[in-house]
């Protein structure tokens, strides 16, 4: 048996057992009494040549060996060499295969076209001449890789001369290598997400997948199989309907595309800016914008066109459109409800339903609003406030007793008192202004005005008039006058020996300046409170 017959039978048997019988490399090696390495070598060579099972009937054993192991491409006179630059770029488009491209090539050159197996062989040799990073197949509009450059740029404060280092964010599309870069002050969550938003706007669309590194602004728990995304980062991804797939820890090949782009940005942009002095972040970003345009329009060395031309023809047509509004940065926080059914966000207190007291909730905080969630369901929403120590409270969040108390206002008490009489009004004004805060006098006012239910409005007004004449404008004095029936006695005419109806100096009399506060209260009377339900 000739020496070359045995290897050929082995190759055919390896291909048959792999693609027809579905055996593993180890099972094939055991069945044919060859090493696993030889099995892998044969199958890799066959796959690179586009060979599958069943083999074409017309192919001979010698031709099979020549197709798989020939170090030089098959040369045939008169055959038209395919345009492999075009083929390489077309393969990045969705659902485009070598089989389809060969059929189109064969239709264009029906007489002098290479066979499909030779076509695959020649394309495989073409890919070997490209850089390793270029051999990765990136589908059009599929992935955007993001990272920060290792190099920072100093920015000088013109007022103080202080220098602050700016971070450089880089984003690149996988298929076209179209690149975006900008400077930001930090790598914190707010700057990280804002840079993503501006990158989407620069590209004019949204890819299917974003591939970040495992920095803390993106991943709260790094894991090779199930990384845990930061809640705010995931919220941004949901808004743009993109998938976030972080690179595996310590696997730089997962984001080789952005690693190369970061290197280009450092060499072609930051290196050119090293001798310039910048006094603001916007000034630095204008310089980066001008240079990134030059980088994107710079011709490729081994491919035709540039990043910009490739972006226009490959990535841009298939990017998904931007949403109607840009994402507004939101920060998620874990909060616990205090016994007063309020949560604290940056020193301000916001109410939630009182039934959630002592529960742990999720708060979504933006510049304009604070939303509170319990087990994924929104339970409260408030306009954001920057007033520290103050409260924002909704009546529907309060217990019934608290809600009833909240419905009372100084204007409502004064309106009620006016209906009874001027003396009653004067005492109510005094009760409201005799405390550090009007709400502290609500209970005294309510107690005073409710005396009209027992004694009638006329007697209450007369008792208040006598209490004012005596210089004791308190609820206890009015109640004592009513209980003793003094309200039904005529007031003694003012003379030199009797107390004057005009109150003089007394420890309970506050004076004109004190009562000026009452006028402010009366100015905020609410028109729809003129009819009071007692």
217-271 pLDDT, tens digit each: 666 555 554 566 778 888 888 889 888 888 765 555 555 666 777 888 888 888 8
pLDDT of residue 404: 62
Read off the pLDDT of residues 454-504 as tens digits, 9 standing for 90 and up: 999 999 999 999 999 988 899 999 999 999 999 888 876 544 444 444 444
| Token pair belonging to 146 | 């993001």
Which of the 8 DSSP states describes residue 269? I
Q: Point out the least confidently predicted range of 51-60, 374-383, 396-405, 501-510.
A: 501-510
Cα–Cα distance, 329 to 311 (Å, whole number):
28
| Token pair belonging to 22 | 């579905």
pLDDT of residue 2: 43
Phi, psi of 98 (to 5 degrees): -65, -35
Read off the pLDDT of residues 62-84 as tens digits, 9 standing for 90 and up: 677 777 766 544 444 568 888 88
Cα–Cα distance, 314 to 196 (Å, whole number):
21
What percentage of the chain exceeds 90 in pLDDT? 21
Beta strand extents in 125-162 (DSSP E only)? 143-148, 153-156
| Token pair belonging to 128 | 């070997």
Which of the 8 DSSP states describes residue 206? B
Residue pair 104/87 in contact (Cβ under 8 Å)? The answer is no
Cα–Cα distance, 172 to 170 (Å, whole number):
7
Residue pair 245/209 in contact (Cβ under 8 Å)? The answer is yes
Kindly tell me the sign of the dihedral angle through the C-alpha atoms of 460, 466, 471, 472. negative
| Token pair belonging to 59 | 């192919």
Read off the pLDDT of residues 405-425 as tens digits, 9 standing for 90 and up: 666 778 888 888 999 999 999
Confidence at 181, pLDDT banded by 50, 70, 90: very high
pLDDT of residue 502: 47
Longest dimension (CA), the chain: 150
Could you give the domains of the chain?
5-134 (no CATH), 143-318 (3.30.420.10), 331-399 (no CATH), 408-529 (no CATH)
Cα–Cα distance, 284 to 460 (Å, whole number):
76
Residue pair 307/178 in contact (Cβ under 8 Å)? The answer is yes
| More confident site: 434 or 146 | 146
Residue 117's closest CA among 218, 46, 173, 20?
A: 46
Q: Is 16 exposed, middle or buried (0-12, 13-18, 19+ CB in 10 A)?
A: middle
Q: What average pLDDT score do residues 195-199 get?
A: 93
CA distances 68 to 99, 116, 130, Å, are 18, 13, 21
pLDDT of 200 over the 50 cut: yes
Which secondary structure element, helix H or strand E, spans residue 380, and what is its range?
strand 377-383
């Amino acid at each position: 048996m000739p020496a070359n017959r045995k290897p050929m039978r082995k190759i055919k048997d390896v291909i048959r057992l792999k693609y027809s019988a579905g055996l593993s490399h180890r099972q094939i090696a055991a069945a044919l009494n060859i090493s696993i390495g030889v099995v892998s070598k044969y199958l890799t060579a066959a796959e690179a040549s586009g060979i599958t099972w069943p083999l074409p009937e017309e192919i001979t054993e010698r031709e099979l060996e020549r197709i798989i192991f020939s170090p030089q491409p098959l040369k045939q006179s008169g055959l038209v060499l395919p345009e492999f630059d075009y083929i390489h770029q077309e393969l990045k488009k969705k659902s485009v295969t070598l089989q389809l491209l060969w059929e189109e090539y064969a239709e264009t050159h029906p007489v002098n076209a290479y066979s499909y197996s030779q076509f695959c062989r020649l394309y495989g040799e073409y890919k070997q001449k490209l850089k390793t990073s270029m051999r990765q197949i990136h589908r059009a509009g599929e992935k955007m890789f993001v990272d920060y450059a290792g190099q920072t740029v100093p920015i000088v404060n013109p007022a103080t001369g202080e220098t602050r280092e700016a971070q450089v964010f880089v984003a690149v599309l996988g298929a076209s290598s179209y690149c975006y870069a900008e400077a930001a002050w930090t790598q914190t969550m707010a700057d990280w997400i804002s840079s993503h938003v501006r990158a989407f706007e620069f590209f004019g669309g949204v890819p299917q997948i974003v591939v970040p590194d495992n920095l803390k602004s993106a991943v709260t728990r790094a894991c090779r199989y199930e990384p845990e995304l930061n809640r705010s980062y995931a919220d941004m991804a949901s808004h743009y309907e993109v998938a976030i797939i972080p690179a595996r820890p310590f696997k730089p090949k997962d984001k080789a595309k952005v690693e190369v782009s970061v290197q280009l940005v450092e060499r072609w942009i930051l290196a050119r800016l090293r001798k310039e002095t910048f006094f603001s972040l916007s000034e630095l970003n204008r310089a980066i914008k001008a240079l990134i345009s030059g980088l994107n329009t710079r011709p490729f060395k081994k491919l035709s066109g540039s990043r910009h031309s490739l972006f226009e023809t490959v990535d841009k047509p298939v990017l998904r459109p931007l949403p109607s509004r840009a994402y507004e940065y939101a920060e998620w926080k874990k909060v616990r409800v205090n016994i007063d059914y309020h949560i604290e966000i940056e020193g301000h207190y916001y109410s939630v339903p009182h039934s959630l007291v002592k529960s742990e909730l999720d708060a979504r905080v933006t510049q304009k609003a604070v939303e509170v969630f319990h087990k994924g369901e929104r339970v409260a929403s408030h306009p954001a406030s920057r007033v520290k120590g103050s409260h924002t409270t909704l009546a529907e969040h309060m217990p019934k007793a608290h809600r009833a108390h909240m419905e009372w206002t100084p204007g409502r008490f004064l309106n009620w008192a006016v209906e009874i009489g001027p003396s009653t009004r004067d005492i109510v004004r005094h009760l409201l202004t005799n405390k550090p805060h009007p709400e502290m006098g609500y209970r005294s006012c309510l107690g005073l005005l409710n005396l009209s239910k027992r004694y009638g409005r006329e007697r209450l007004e007369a008792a208040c008039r006598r209490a004012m004449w005596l210089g004791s404008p308190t609820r206890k004095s009015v109640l004592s006058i009513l209980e003793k029936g003094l309200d039904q006695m005529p007031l003694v005419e003012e003379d030199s020996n009797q107390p004057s109806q005009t109150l003089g100096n007394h420890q309970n009399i506050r004076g004109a300046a004190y009562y000026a506060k009452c006028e402010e209260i009366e100015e905020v009377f609410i028109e729809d409170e003129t009819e009071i339900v007692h």
